[in-house]
Amino acid sequence: HLWVDWRKTGIQMARWFTDFEAGIHWSQIQMQSGTTGINANRMYSPIKQSEDQDPYGIFIKQWIPELKSVPLEWIHQPWRMPLSLQQKIGCRIGLDYPEPIGDPTQLGREARSRLKFWIESHDMNPEAQRVLRAHGSRLRQARPRYGKKAALSQMVLDLE
């Protein structure tokens, strides 16, 4: 949503990852930034992700001490807290904790619109089909089917 070059953020992420593997890492960074891939582009709402992944704000409060006293109702969007509450709990947005760079909902809307325009003005389907034929695994592959009996026998260790 912020139009930050994926190469710069990718280098920083590589420094932070404890399990960095270039072959996996870089393709994921590119895919998540929407610069490559044959899959539909994903644009996540940072607010929804925060609510889904940390519904009680435990992670947020542990790692962002400025938000430790923010009530659950405001933890995912602290900038929306009434000023009186900000003053009461000692977390004034813009002073004790930074204001958002922009409205996440509006930035997401603009990003989706810009991307849709770009996609509609560039026919990428032939290239996507070529990549899928060369590297894709979406087509169901012929694999042996094992019945319930075979699956159960895998759970037995016969030492005799």
pLDDT, residue 141, reads: 60
Same domain, 30 and 64: no
Same domain, 103 and 75: yes
Same domain, 77 and 93: yes
pLDDT in tens, 98-119: 999 999 999 999 998 998 888 7
Token pair listed for 88: 């009461």
Domain annotation covers residue 117: yes
pLDDT, residue 86, reads: 98
Same domain, 38 and 54: no
The domain in which residue 19 lies consists of: 1-42
CATH number at residue 84: 1.10.579.10
Contact 31, 43 (CB under 8 A): no
2 vs 49, residue with greater confidence? 49
Same domain, 49 and 67: yes
d(CA 60, CA 56): 9
pLDDT, residue 68, reads: 97
| Number of domains into which the chain is organized | 2
In this structure, which amino acid lies at residue 83? L
Same domain, 19 and 88: no
Same domain, 36 and 48: no
Same domain, 107 and 38: no
pLDDT in tens, 21-67: 999 998 888 888 877 766 677 788 999 999 999 999 999 999 999 99
pLDDT in tens, 59-86: 999 999 999 999 999 999 999 999 999 9
Among 16, 47, 42, CA closest to 28: 42
